[in-house]
Amino acid sequence: MDVVDITRLQFAVVTIYHYLFVPLSISLASLTAGLQTASVLTRDPERAQRLRRSTLLVGKLLLVTFAVGVVTGLVQEFQFGMGWSAFARFYGDVFGPTLAIEGMLAFFLEATFLGLWFFGWDRLPRLVHLATIWVVAIGTLISAYVILGANSFMQHPVAYQLDPSTGRAHLSSFTELMTNPVLFATFPHTIAGAAMLGGALLLSVGSWRRWIGPAPAGAAGSPEARAVDPDQRAFAGIARLGAWTTVAGGLATALTGDTLGKVMTSVQPMKMAAAEALYTTTTGAPFSLLTIGNLDGSRPIFSLDLPYLLSFLATGEFHSTVQGIDDLQAQYSQQFGPGDYAPVIPLAYWSFRAMITIGLLAALVAGVYLWLTRKGLDPREPRASALPFMSQRLFPRPLVQLSLRMLPTLPLLPAAAGTAGWVFTETARQPWLAFGLTLTKDGVSPGLTAGEAWLSLAAFTAVYGVLAVVWLRLVKHLVAQDLTDPPVRPAPPASTGDDDEGASEASPAAPRAAVPSY
């Protein structure tokens, strides 16, 4: 491997690892805010207590995830200076505002208000405390939007001017940069995928404590007693919230992915052609469900297609024309000069299908869990339903027991789907770093040696391995604990109407009852 390949591998390792924590932070922030809002709005004291305890647990998971995400995110930004200084120097003026907003505004909002939220349960007024977690949730969305704005520039460069005197690109319009059509399509797709990952984590945590893991200290041993235990009900609620979020995120990911596909076809037709391994320009192009080809991918040996579907997914019309790889290669050679402008087709083809298939599987698992636990049913005792095909034969007890034990691994599915999506997004753009402007080989730091690149890659991998162990142990510790009430803010002293007299009679050292403010 030459220095370009090693640097690309290093960036892939750093980015993929960092992106495991970013979508979790985005979704857990919104889920925490939603749970706390529900606890404030409900008039049922018992339900309010369950929601407060659930809020505190999900918020702690957010805190741990956010901390690890910050560390990995810092390394990712250092990457531009270490491995991609030529690219950073040329496009620094374009990326500068987005990175500044992400660091100075979004990160400031997230870090500051997350601290206020965690330590402010017994110090801030109820609604002010609730507002802090919503600020965190909004901060994560701002952060995602501006960073995706920088990535969208690399997919579809807009809002820049090339200065011949300095040889650098200058930002011509920040508004145009933030209204990039690729950004408008990518942002909702990314947020929907983030919802799937956060939902899957809550589903795995809640279902494990409700059905498989240790019962809370106050819960009795019998299944009937456990079913009415407040904390068991709280874990059941967390699991169903996670399942609903995963299913909704899956539907939203599919819908937004369709929009993103059409935008991608218009600005990066080679990427869509690579996703389908479509070598020849075709009218009424079919969608490949499964194709096995020869070693260079140019000739299919076995293919299972859906007629006209690719044309519809690419343009919205079943009989439209989709450009093929060979024609685009000829077009780009004429436009940009001699060169190979096709990405690695098998990687693009299979990463695209892995993203879709694994994501659908995660949503399907969550949907089955919702069905088996509807109306408070115990999934370990599946009973015949009104629909014949949803009978006990379809969900026999051993299969359900095994599935429940496997649920803690469910977050691996949306995490793998998101990783496959980013692998497809970044590798199918090759050989461009910024599409149509800068080749990847031209963005690597001058003077960087292969040995230096290998050394930094080994160091990052070792540090990330340690961080992964720390994060997993912290999460395991948090979810194994019994739920607890957050600290409460002491109620203000009651006024007696004759304050001076009442105050003089009260002892300053007398204990004051702490009344929950939630």
d(CA 488, CA 385): 44
According to the model, what pLDDT value does residue 504 have? 40
The SS3 call for residue 162 is strand
Residue type, 175: T
Q: Is 210 exposed, middle or buried (0-12, 13-18, 19+ CB in 10 A)?
A: buried
Closest CA to 342 of 355, 353, 332, 354: 332
According to the model, what pLDDT value does residue 389 have? 55
* Domain parsing of the chain, residue ranges: 3-217+230-268+343-480
According to the model, what pLDDT value does residue 313 have? 87
According to the model, what pLDDT value does residue 506 have? 40
Residue 345 CB-half CA count within 13 A: 24
d(CA 108, CA 104): 6
Q: Is 465 exposed, middle or buried (0-12, 13-18, 19+ CB in 10 A)?
A: exposed
Helix ranges, 120-268 (H): 126-155, 174-178, 181-207, 223-228, 230-267
Contact 443, 226 (CB under 8 A): no
Give one DSSP letter per residue of 470-482, joined into a string: HHHHHHHHHHHSP
Query: For 218-248, what is the HEC assignment?
Result: CCCCCHHHHHHCHHHHHHHHHHHHHHHHHHH
According to the model, what pLDDT value does residue 198 have? 96
Write out the chain's pLDDT in tens, 518 residues. 788 899 999 888 888 888 889 999 999 999 999 999 999 999 999 999 999 999 999 999 999 999 988 888 877 777 777 888 898 888 888 888 888 887 777 778 888 999 999 999 988 999 999 999 999 999 999 989 999 999 999 999 999 988 888 778 888 899 999 999 999 999 999 999 999 999 999 999 999 988 887 776 666 566 666 667 788 889 999 999 999 999 999 999 999 999 999 999 999 999 999 998 888 899 988 888 877 776 666 677 777 888 888 888 888 899 999 999 999 999 999 999 999 999 999 899 999 999 999 999 999 999 999 988 888 888 777 554 555 555 566 667 777 778 888 888 999 999 999 999 999 999 999 999 999 889 999 999 988 888 988 998 898 888 888 988 999 999 999 998 888 888 877 766 665 554 444 444 444 444 443 434 33
d(CA 260, CA 334): 28
Contact 433, 439 (CB under 8 A): yes
**Structure pTM?**
0.88
The CA–CA distances, whole Å, from 97 to 22, 83, 102, 151, 172 equal: 20, 21, 8, 13, 12
The DSSP H or E segment spanning 347 is helix 345-372
Residue type, 105: L
Other beta carbons within 10 Å of 78? 13
According to the model, what pLDDT value does residue 292 have? 76
d(CA 151, CA 157): 9
Q: Where are the beta strands (DSSP E) in 324-474?
A: 432-434, 438-439
- R_g over Cα of the chain: 27
CA 174 to chain CA centroid, Å, is: 26
Helix ranges, 42-84 (H): 45-83
According to the model, what pLDDT value does residue 494 have? 63
d(CA 412, CA 404): 15
